[in-house]
Amino acid sequence: MARGRGRFRMRNAECCLVGNHGGRPARTLPARRTMRKGNEMKQLYDDLWQTSPEHPLSRFPNSQCHAYLLVREAGNVLFYSTGREAVGKVDDRADHDRIEELGGVSHLLLSHWHEASPSTRSIRERFNATLICQAREAPMVEKVAGVAPDTVFWERQTLLDGIEAVPTPGHTVGSACYLYRSPSGQTYLFTGDTIWPARGSWTSVTFEDDARQSTHRASLNLLAALDPTVVLPAISPSDPVVEVSSFEWRSAIQATLASLG
Ligand SMILES: [Zn+2]
């Protein structure tokens, strides 16, 4: 159960997918990138894989959650976590086996505690991975996953040889995004639930902020200054991976700011 302040105190994460607030249509990946054989991991780019879809929100059965495996010689990084499927329906063993075939996980980066699950602990233990999140998320990550983060960060900084951690509080008090300039030529931005595509536009929900959502707004304005070419949220009403131009990204930020009301 999420604890919040002001009028945006929320009961749980199910409100993540509320909202369709206009703005420019979001453009998802071309079809050649979206083919998936059954319920298995999908390769998005040379160095990036997406775990099979999970549908944890009973009120929004078409919603999708994924984790993303960045394959690197320096050690693979898993953004977010598997195991968010509704209680009793988790079946991420095949994903974990595929992750092992791809070289395992050296570091597991959460954008915020909503991504934590008992599978987070399983991944950490199976692959001897280092679990990382922003410091303010650590207590809830430990409560939900059953294991404390190994490392936390407070400020914007570069982690793990080229992955930039960008604190973006507002959705939760310790939400963070991660930016990575891939040798593939793409710049990946892992946004967690701070911003995601929804029904042809972009939106978000504020869980832990003041009544004016001023912290979340400041975080979105900070993100507008980044230059991603691919945005990879943790959750979306449909396939969440979107390629963007600079103009489209700034428009996405404006649409999300408008969606906050
Ligand atoms: Zn969330």
CA torsion sign, 170 to 180 to 165 to 148? positive
* Ligand 1 mean position, distance from CA 73 (Å): 30
CA torsion sign, 202 to 166 to 111 to 50? positive
* CATH (residue range 18-259): 3.60.15.10
The DSSP output letter for 61 is T
Quote the Cα angle for 119-123-128, to 5°. Answer: 150
* Ligand 1 mean position, distance from CA 158 (Å): 23
* Ligand 1 mean position, distance from CA 166 (Å): 16
d(C-alpha 170, C-alpha 10), whole Å? 12
* Ligand 1 mean position, distance from CA 82 (Å): 14
* Ligand 1 mean position, distance from CA 185 (Å): 29
d(C-alpha 185, C-alpha 190), whole Å? 16
> The whole model's pTM is what?
0.86
* Ligand 1 mean position, distance from CA 234 (Å): 8
Structural domain boundaries in the chain: 18-259
Per-residue pLDDT of the chain (261 residues; tens, 9 = 90+): 233 333 333 333 444 443 333 334 455 554 344 455 556 899 999 999 999 888 877 777 778 889 999 999 999 999 999 987 765 676 788 899 999 999 999 999 999 999 999 999 999 999 999 999 999 999 999 999 999 999 999 999 999 889 999 999 999 999 999 999 999 899 999 999 999 998 889 988 888 778 788 999 999 999 999 999 999 999 888 778 999 999 999 999 999 999 987
* Contact assessment for residue 105 and residue 76, using Cβ atoms and an 8 Å cutoff: yes
